[in-house]
Amino acid sequence: MVVDAESLLADVPQAERLARDGDPARAREMLAEVDAAYRGDAFADEPYADWADGLREQTRSVWLRALRELARLYRRDGDADRAATTLVRLLDADSYDEWAHRALVGTLVGAGRHGEARRAFDRWAGAMRSIDAPSPDPAVLRRRAGQQL
């Protein structure tokens, strides 16, 4: 599957509708295909082209939205490994995404992966400190297995 900007902008909302309307398996498949095909910012070979800035930001935003929805679907299915991998990928692209940090820590705690959860929490706290945002509550590390955030 080749993802161009037009496909990305159409496929992600369609997958979100599928998830909302009761076909999460097909939504996961579409979102995973979009993610696998995403090769970076639109027009990356033209970094100084002002005309491309809007589309570049729009496609990046929609791709990040696809990762969030994919992580939600994996978490809903109880697939901690895929959820965590997707959330780490999301945080690699946007290290200040508070929802993704919270979801990653919650996913890891719920899976009993407390060491990984602690390291993820520390990265979250560091990211928030670096932008003078409120620190996360360490209580998220004490949630019981299976408890969603």
Count of C-beta atoms within a 10 Å radius of residue 106: 21
Domain boundaries, position 63:
1-77
My answer on whether 50 and 88 are in the same domain is no
My answer on whether 73 and 115 are in the same domain is no
My answer on whether 126 and 146 are in the same domain is yes
Report whether 80 contacts 64 (CB < 8 A).
no
Query: What pLDDT sits at residue 101?
Result: 98
Structure tokens at 84: 């965590």
Query: What pLDDT sits at residue 39?
Result: 74
28 burial level (CB within 10 Å; 0-12, 13-18, 19+):
buried
My answer on whether 59 and 116 are in the same domain is no
My answer on whether 91 and 135 are in the same domain is yes
My answer on whether 5 and 46 are in the same domain is yes
pLDDT of 142 over the 90 cut: no
Structure tokens at 127: 């990211």
pLDDT of 92 over the 50 cut: yes
- Residue 146 corresponds to which amino acid? G
The dihedrals phi and psi of 74, each to the nearest 5 degrees, come to -65, -40
pLDDT per residue over 12-68, tens digit each? 999 999 999 999 999 999 999 999 888 766 555 555 556 656 777 888 899 999 999
Domain boundary residue, one of 35, 55, 77: 77
| Rounded Cα–Cα distance for residues 102 and 87 (Å) | 10
The pTM of this model reads 0.84
Instruction: Taking the CA atoms of 34, 40, 41 and 42 in sequence, report the sign of the dihedral they define.
Output: negative
